[in-house]
Amino acid sequence: MKLSVLDQSPISEGSTGADALRNTLDLARLTDQLGYARYWVAEHHGTPMLACSSPEVMIAAIGSVTQRIRIGSGGVMLPHYSPLKVAETFSILSALFPDRVDLGIGRAPGTDPQTAYALQRDRRQAAPDDFPEQFGELLGYLENRMPAGHPFARLAALPGRPHVPEVWLLGSSEQSAIWATANSLQYCFADFINPEGAPFARGCKMVAVFALCAESNEEAQRIASSARMARALLNQGRLIPVPTIEKAQAFLSANGANADSALRPRRAIVGDPETVKQGLLEVQKLYDAEEVMIVTITHDHNHRRKSYELIAQLTG
């Protein structure tokens, strides 16, 4: 099984965003050594739980501390940006790290409506819902196939050529799967957001899933309690740093039924090495995917390191 990493740079209670970013670099070095195929960083804004607001900055930093692993965005939330600016940024990254850079593009805002509005440069009116046009323009720059008469045709002479990123479309809906097929793009489906995607995303090249591995099922479930509490509160609109295991266990004990209800129907593969191996194989088979990308959130960074180490060992 080909395995990769999706890192959301979780901020643990009692630590800072700077700590989370340093943990990202540490985990990137580790997973590079362990043989993971890709290391992607997410884009989220306005949350005390995640420090991943600038994937392009982190990609450059990760590339500088790793040797062979592919590096990229999971993803750049295109509605916030000019297609030309994204094309230029990833062109430069591709020149700095040849044959290693992936550009994963997403349509979602990666935040709440107020923060999305704050990210707008022009606030005189709501941003248009023109993702297909944005995406088409971006591909025109990257693939150097702007129509001859297009007013921006000369801008396809990007600064990092001849190097260009490998483009992926990311999504958790049927519409994103349709766009990926229409544009003959590699597609990564976010099962950790929508575990009901197999009917329309089957055959996607990569599927991203939440997984956490420990020496025993009991220990894995204990560690996972922090992510369970954070997700349950997020679904209620309450944003918090990743809580300690002790706080999370107390919360889940007091709110167990309600918390579990808030988490459904999200999938989480949590357990000992054999449990996680079977879970990953089942998801891979469900989507008929070539690659599985793993996202893991824990309060203790060492638990996250250990999980990726165990998963690398169990899959060879």
- Percentage with pLDDT > 90 across the chain: 80
Domain holding 72, by residue range, is: 2-216+269-315
Tell whether 145 is covered by a domain: yes
Three-class SS state of 74: strand
Tell whether 257 is covered by a domain: no
Q: Which amino acid is at 225?
A: S
- CATH code for the domain in which residue 157 is found: 3.20.20.30
Is pLDDT above 80 for 259?
Answer: no
Considering its fold, how many domains does the chain have in total? 1
pLDDT per residue over 128-140, tens digit each? 888 899 999 999 9
pLDDT per residue over 236-245, tens digit each? 889 999 999 9
pLDDT per residue over 77-119, tens digit each? 999 999 999 999 999 999 999 999 999 999 887 788 888 888 8
Tell whether 228 is covered by a domain: no
Question: What separation in angstroms does the CA of 273 have from each of 111, 279, 311?
Answer: 33, 10, 7
Tell whether 225 is covered by a domain: no
14: region left, alpha or beta (phi > 0 left; psi from -120 to 50 alpha): left
Strand partners for 263: none
